[in-house]
Amino acid sequence: MASTWVQSPRFAVAAPAKRGDNTLMAAPIVHAGLEVLYTRDQIARRVAEMGEEISRDFAGQKVVLVGVLKGATIFLADLARCISLDATFDFLSTSSYGKGHQQSGEVKLLKDVDHSVEGQNIILVEDILDTGLTLTYLRRVLSAHQPKSLKIAALLDKPARRIQKIEGDYIGFTIPNKFVVGYGLDYAERYRNLPDICVIPPSALGDE
Ligand code: IMP
Ligand code: MG
């Protein structure tokens, strides 16, 4: 569906087109022929289930959603709106794979949380649990802040690639050993804005 452009005094914004079910949908984005692994509707349904589960588990309590920049931002934004609890946000950042899909194996903290998480219920929100190096490291960093509880919510889990023995508490989808992009996940910083989760074929993965 075509979107209309609305002029505001300082910038032009694309007004999202409306879908039949009355939910807002962004203007269509070119997927460049990538195979879709999970559609936006499948993701939305699963994220809603995850939010309900978290809301049940922490009924009557407050939670702090700690997102791992940048991949978890879209997942966190959607998950947060499916959680019916008193919730606040914070963000962490680690050194990443580099520009492409290669991994150095070393994780460094680039940005710590802004607020003390001592005595709080922390839900560490990550896009994907792959080798497990990042979340093992971040779990240690956050545990040092002595939270009341610490859980991991990851949209995707790729257990075939695990190096560190770690499991998520809330997992959206368990996927095969494929490199995926979209819904926040990138390849060399691209594709984060794809609404669906898509697969990058191995032949297209360079050595960046
Ligand atoms: P780890 O290997 O579990 O430490 O994963 C760390 C990070 O690697 C994730 O937060 C993602 O940013 C990135 N990553 C791992 N697998 C993929 C993938 O299939 N697509 C995009 N990013 C990935
Ligand atoms: Mg990430």
Count of CB atoms situated within 10 Å of the CB of 192: 17
Query: Active-site residue 130, yes or no?
Result: yes
Average predicted confidence (pLDDT) for the chain: 86
CA distance 152 to 121: 11
pLDDT at 1 over 70: no
Quote the ligand 2 centre to 133 CA distance (angstroms). 11
What is the residue whose two structure tokens read 């079910």?
21
Quote the ligand 1 centre to 150 CA distance (angstroms). 20
CA distances from 75 to 105, 140, 205 (A): 24, 22, 24
pLDDT at 89 over 90: yes
- Taken in order 44, 49, 50, 52, the sign of the CA dihedral is positive
For ligand 1, mutation pick of 76, 125, 126, 130 (most atoms within 8 Å of CB): 130
CA distance 153 to 42: 17
39-65 pLDDT, tens digit each? 999 999 999 999 999 999 999 999 999
Express as a percent the part of the chain with pLDDT over 70.
79
130 lines ligand 1 (CB under 6 A): yes
Residues 117, 193, 174, 108: what is their CA dihedral angle, to the nearest 10 degrees?
Answer: -40
Tokens of 205: 């993965």
CA distance 11 to 182: 26
For ligand 1, mutation pick of 164, 185, 208 (most atoms within 8 Å of CB): 185
122-131 pLDDT, tens digit each? 999 999 999 9
pLDDT at 9 over 50: no
CA distances from 50 to 46, 99, 124, 152, 177 (A): 6, 30, 13, 12, 23
At position 99, the amino acid (one-letter code) is: K
Q: Are 81 and 65 in contact (CB under 8 A)?
A: no
154-185 pLDDT, tens digit each? 999 999 999 999 999 999 999 999 999 999 99
CA distance 75 to 47: 8
Q: What pLDDT score was predicted for residue 10?
A: 34
